[in-house]
Amino acid sequence: MTEEEIQAHVIDLLAANDREGFREEFLQNHSFDQAQMYLNLDPEQRQKVHHFLTPKELSEVYDIIDEEDEEQIFTFLFDMDDRYAANLLSFMYTDNAVDILNELSLEQVRTYMRLMPKESADDIKSLMNYADETAGAIMTTEFVSIKANQTVKSAMTLLRAKASSAETIYYLYVVDDDNRLVGVLSLRDLIISQGNEMVYDLMSDRIVAVDVKEDQNSIAKTIKDYDFLAIPVIEETGELIGIVTVDDIIDVIDDEATQDYSGLAGVDVDEQYENPLKSSKSRLPWLITLLFLGMGTSTLISQFEDMIAEVAILSIFITLITGTAGNAGTQSLAVAVRRLATPDDEVSSFFDMVVREITTGLISGAITGFVIFAVISVWRQNIALGLVIGIAMLAAITVANLAGSLIPILMDKLGFDPAVASGPFITTLSDLTSVLIYFSIASYFMPYLQ
């Protein structure tokens, strides 16, 4: 059966109030497919699902629903009985439940926390206290830890008891009597070992762990570098308090990429899910700001009206120079934002970075300037005009290239998101500087242009 046929069959079973038939058909699908079916139901059909499935069964669906469907999730929760919703949240992985609760009103959070089991509520409270975008905020507390002085047999018994509630069991984290992380053991090594062997003989004590306050981007880089499926999270004392899994890191990478792209475009790319009024509201601040910057460029051009009146041909090449400089600045901005998002271990000095960007701008500008010099000299039969355009192109590209790199770095140093130095902002700023450069150079060549 195709996905459409399965969806139609599920809807028919709901319409017929066939609880057993629905459960058999729905639950045999993968959690992702269950989530897609659930999202496509209307409110009346979802109400039946809430009666046909237990909170634990439906929690697996909510664990896998993407963040882009968050607004729908809130609507679904409010359509449920409060106790059912609270139990559903308690069965979800703690980090996923926290993501949802952080977006709800304080009154609604208190209602759900009061209705769910105390142990689940305590776990959720502990995660909600951590700062956003840190290890503590994205970690899960559903993991398996064992003691170093256990035998393989007893560790396997413990694993069987906890595996169903753990988010991942591919790594077993070894702790001492004070719950301090002292080693790690893979599931494979545990399975192939003899039952009477001791955990401390099998574990690796070369542990890669992250501090609970560590930034999520740094954690993403560590997991990428080591190809981990999960990484332990520890307190300053070395106490093991959670793990960050690769699926959460994929969400982090996706969110960061979306934020960076939104910044480069000067718009929230997720607004495709919003109505036109909200989309316009989010775009207008950038457009108005860029409008005033653009007026600055127009005002600057007006200062050279007399020069343009004497040599009208200069006006033809304004957009050529500003457009090319804007493109160069946007290229440099994209590289700079990427460099800040994925810092290298061998970070070069600020001076080295400036020299590298100036050199890149000079090389790119020199080649581009020479090409346009040759074209214009032949096309207009005017070497002086070709020199003006070529030199202006060289200088404008170099300045735009440097600005595109330095502005995001400066914003990062000041504690702002470097992606806010968006492409439209850099382009408009490049327009302003390239116009000034162009007419300043042209003024020196005026005797040869008239």
pLDDT digits (tens, 9 = 90+) for 21-77: 999 999 999 888 898 899 888 889 999 999 999 999 999 888 887 655 666 777 888
Q: Give the pLDDT confidence score for residue 346 in this predicted structure.
A: 45
pLDDT digits (tens, 9 = 90+) for 288-308: 876 777 788 888 888 888 888
Low-confidence residues of the chain: pLDDT under 70: 66-71, 254-275, 278-279, 282-283, 286, 290, 338, 340-350, 416-423, 450
Is the CB of residue 111 less than 8 Å from the CB of residue 138? no
Domains observed in the chain: 3-129 (1.25.60.10), 145-249 (3.10.580.10), 266-449 (1.10.357.20)
Q: Give the pLDDT confidence score for residue 86 in this predicted structure.
A: 93
